[in-house]
Amino acid sequence: MITEANIKNGVNVDQLVETIGAVQKDPSLAKFEFRTKNNWIDGGHCVTSAKSFYGVGAEDTTRKETFTMEADHPQVLLGEDLAPTPAEIVLHALGSCLTGAMVYHASANGIDIESAESSLEGGVDLHGFLGLDADIRKGFEGIKVRLKVKSDATTEQLENLAKFSPVFDMLTNPTPVSIEIVK
């Protein structure tokens, strides 16, 4: 007997339901740890590699490729503009995560997503970063996301699904960051 996988919006819903069932049986399977290594090149230019991670109760053995990602700064911010800025990379993470979360939760709820595209904007006042005004924050004052979706679901439903995004949570709620400097 040949059975077809139940795929919706590119997501294998059978596997998603299995994953939820497995986590409900053994909560420890839900623990993940992601890791990156970052190397400074010079100025504001860095390269990151990402490969190993922990999840579903074990070190991952399936990922074959080491992903590399670069960051730099435009000339007006004293860089050579060889790669996007960390601020743009945050927008990339957020846009991808909101969309992915919406698509995964739509799939689990039987909602079709035909297409999705978004534009993101983040404003920042450099008085914060430059140390010129302690009352002005160093990061984005705020981020605006405009997410255009073709779907039968309502805008309210889609917004609620997108807000399952882990990166949305990391930005809108404080995420503790511990820094250990080693000489």
Q: Which of residues 124-143 bind a second copy (CB under 8 A)?
A: 124-132, 137-143
Which residues in the 54-83 window bind a second copy by CB under 8 A?
55-56, 60, 62-63, 65, 67, 69, 71, 73-78, 81, 83
- What SS3 state is found at 68? strand
44/111 with CB nearer a second copy: 44
Does 158 interact with a second copy (rule: CB under 8 A)?
Answer: yes
Give the integer Cα–Cα distance in Å for 121 and 58: 38
> Which of 116, 119, 123 lies closest to 162 in space, CA to CA?
116
Residue 158 φ then ψ, to 5°:
-65, -40
Q: Which is nearer to a second copy, 3 or 75 (CB)?
A: 75
Interface with a second copy (CB under 8 A), residue total: 129
Longest Cα separation, the chain: 70
Identity of the residue, 105 or 111, whose beta carbon is nearer to a second copy in the bound complex: 105
Question: CA-to-CA distance for 166 and 121, rounded, in angstroms?
Answer: 19
C-alpha to C-alpha distance for 145 and 121, rounded to whole angstroms: 7
- What residues between 18 and 37 interact with a second copy by CB under 8 A? 19-20, 23-24, 27, 30-37
Which of 4, 6, 40, 111 binds a second copy (CB under 8 A)? It is 40
